Amino acid sequence: MRFRTVTAMTGALALSLVAGCAQGGTAGAGGGTVTYWLWDANQLPAYQACAKDFEKENPGLDVKISQMGWDDYWTKLTASFIAGTQPDVFTDHIQKFGQFADLKVLEPLDDLGIDDSAYQPGLGANWVGEDGHRYGSPKDWDTVALFYNKKLADAAGLTAQQLNDLSWNPKDGGTFEKAIAHLTVDTKGRRGDEPGFDKKHVKVYGLATGGGGDGDGQTQWSNFAASAGWTYTDKKRWGTKYQYDSTTFQSVIKWYFGLAKKGYMAPLTDYSGGASPANMQVAGGKAAAAFDGAWMISTYYGTKGLKVGTAFTPVGPTGKRATMMNGLADSITKNAHNKAGAKKWVKYLASDACQKTVGGYGIVFPATPDGTNTAVAAYRKKGIDVTAFTKPVADKKDFTTFSYPITNYAADVFALMHPAMQAIYGNGKSVSSLDQTTDQINLILDQ
């Protein structure tokens, strides 16, 4: 008798726990609430302003925004797909798009009537999956340029004009390498291009390290590889072969990581994503310049005691400058709790009205041309010239922009390329080792 009571009570307890979990999953998402996740804290106020306008236009709908840092964001998002606690709408990145498409966790957005021509070129098309359905609405874009410490550039006698007019090649590095060498100073005050320079005891590196760059090299080697005429895959989107085994690519990588061997670029050991990303190396006076993305503009210009300038990426062997143009999007999750509300919110996020509101904060370039112009004006008001980021998009004669690689099995590509590039950069492994890595990657893509 007593035994049965205990069993019944245990069972009841277990059941109530399970029921409690299930309830937790839907709490806060029902009714007129749309949940929205983003990772960039700088952008939170801008989207809160958008949400306010949206709620005014749509009485009864309430947007609940959650912001968390980049790493936590993806971990939590992954977990939420599994647990069924996913947000209705989330900020999506091309790097993850392929994987989410594989996992079929995204809702097609074909019925939102998104017109590619309403956005900056290329941004809309990137979010159409291999199956021909749209899974993201263009939100913003960024390019990469050279940030430099003005004081250190002045001390080296390099003008803004000179830094904006650099060129490079994989043989001798061109004027770009000369400038970086000249910006490098060892502990005894000798510059990188002066006799007796001690590459083992460098006080200020010409170029900060952003790590090995994994499979994309967005803020590391991508502009060099692209201006040498190389492309990531055999096709613009949803390619089936990666081309890390190309001799052009490998010659670029050999030269680029060779800058560290010469003492002009900080070694891999100076890089740690958590403690010392490129901007911290510039802020701390350990590096004179760094390639970084437009999303970092406010961070660099907001660093106390640092006077920053920006310059275009150098002209490459193709005679053009290249920079990665990457765009974020808003995606709706397949099992969104409030799909109807989510679609309305995404449509609003993609509208000129919201994108101009966001642009007005001067923290990011919205995807619509009007939104972009509002952002440029807002930056100007803060005294920041963003030409180094916007001109590559407008001027197709001198510049090439290229997209982040979009393929299936993106997570596997990362898992293989991350250590492979570190081994070349940090351990001096031969660039030809990328042949084998490429074979492994392409084998996975062939599945």
Partner 1 sequence: MTVASSSPPSRLPLDGVTEARTKPRTSRAGAREGRGDGRLAAVFVAPAMLGFVVFLLWPTLRGIYLSFTRFNLLTPAEWVGLDNYVRMVHDPIFWDSMKVTVEYVLINIGVQTVSALAIAVLLQRLTQSAVLRGIVLTPYLMSNVVAGIVWLWILDTQLGIGNEIIAGLGLDRVPFLADETWAIPTIALINVWRHVGYTALLLFAGLQAIPNDMYEAAKVDGASEWRMFWRITMPLLRPVLAVVLIMTVIGSFQVFDTVAVATQGGPANATNVLQYYIYGSAFGRFQFGYASAMSVALLVVLSAITFLQYRLTRAGQSDLG
Are the CB atoms for 369 and 57 separated by under 8 Å?
A: no
**Binding to partner 1 by residue 433, rule CB under 8 A?**
no
In the complex, the smallest distance separating the C-beta of residue 359 from partner 1, rounded to whole angstroms, is 34
Residue selected from 281, 310, 338, 355 as contacting partner 1 according to rule CB under 8 A: 281
Q: Where are the alpha helices (DSSP H) in 242-304?
A: 247-261, 278-283, 297-301
**Binding to partner 1 by residue 350, rule CB under 8 A?**
no
* Cβ proximity to partner 1, 34 vs 266, nearer residue: 266
Q: CA-CA-CA-CA torsion for 311, 95, 359, 36, nearest 10 degrees? A: -160
Span interacting with partner 1, options 51-59, 173-181, 288-296, 415-423, rule CB under 8 A: 415-423
Q: How many CA atoms lie within 13 A of 85 on its CB side?
A: 14
**Binding to partner 1 by residue 171, rule CB under 8 A?**
no
SS (H, E, C) 123-153: CCHHHECCCCCECCEEEEEECEEEEEEHHHH
With contacts defined by CB under 8 A, how many residues of the chain interact with partner 1? 43
Q: CA-CA-CA-CA torsion for 39, 44, 50, 52, nearest 10 degrees? A: 120
**Binding to partner 1 by residue 271, rule CB under 8 A?**
yes
Residue selected from 40, 142, 186, 412 as contacting partner 1 according to rule CB under 8 A: 412
**Binding to partner 1 by residue 269, rule CB under 8 A?**
yes
CA 407 to the chain's CA centroid:
16
- The single-letter DSSP state of residue 64 is E
**Binding to partner 1 by residue 6, rule CB under 8 A?**
yes
Q: Where are the alpha helices (DSSP H) in 164-303?
A: 174-183, 222-227, 247-261, 278-283, 297-301
Round to whole Å and give the CA distance between 400 and 323. Answer: 7
Span interacting with partner 1, options 46-54, 96-104, 257-265, 318-326, rule CB under 8 A: 96-104
Q: CA-CA-CA-CA torsion for 151, 261, 146, 120, nearest 10 degrees? A: -170
Residue selected from 8, 10, 131, 382 as contacting partner 1 according to rule CB under 8 A: 10
Are the CB atoms for 407 and 212 separated by under 8 Å?
A: no
Counting every residue written for the chain, the total comes to: 447
* Cβ proximity to partner 1, 56 vs 200, nearer residue: 200
**Binding to partner 1 by residue 99, rule CB under 8 A?**
yes
Span interacting with partner 1, options 40-48, 153-161, 351-359, 413-421, rule CB under 8 A: 413-421
Round to whole Å and give the CA distance between 232 and 340. Answer: 37
Residue selected from 130, 381, 411, 430 as contacting partner 1 according to rule CB under 8 A: 411
Residue selected from 276, 279, 326, 442 as contacting partner 1 according to rule CB under 8 A: 276
**Binding to partner 1 by residue 103, rule CB under 8 A?**
yes
Round to whole Å and give the CA distance between 59 and 68. Answer: 27
**Binding to partner 1 by residue 38, rule CB under 8 A?**
no
* Cβ proximity to partner 1, 99 vs 184, nearer residue: 99
Residue selected from 33, 62, 81, 369 as contacting partner 1 according to rule CB under 8 A: 81
Are the CB atoms for 134 and 127 separated by under 8 Å?
A: yes
Round to whole Å and give the CA distance between 87 and 77. Answer: 8
Residue selected from 53, 270, 370, 435 as contacting partner 1 according to rule CB under 8 A: 270
* Cβ proximity to partner 1, 99 vs 326, nearer residue: 99
* Cβ proximity to partner 1, 198 vs 385, nearer residue: 198
Q: How many CB atoms lie within 10 A of CB 117?
A: 6
Q: What is the enclosing helix (H) or strand (E) of 207?
A: strand 202-207
Residue selected from 104, 171, 304, 397 as contacting partner 1 according to rule CB under 8 A: 104
* Cβ proximity to partner 1, 106 vs 252, nearer residue: 106
In the complex, the smallest distance separating the C-beta of residue 391 from partner 1, rounded to whole angstroms, is 33
In the complex, the smallest distance separating the C-beta of residue 71 from partner 1, rounded to whole angstroms, is 9
Residues in contact with partner 1 by the rule CB under 8 A: 2-3, 6-7, 10, 14, 75, 78, 81-82, 99, 102-105, 200, 266-276, 280-281, 284, 286, 411-412, 414-415, 418-420, 422-423, 426-427, 429
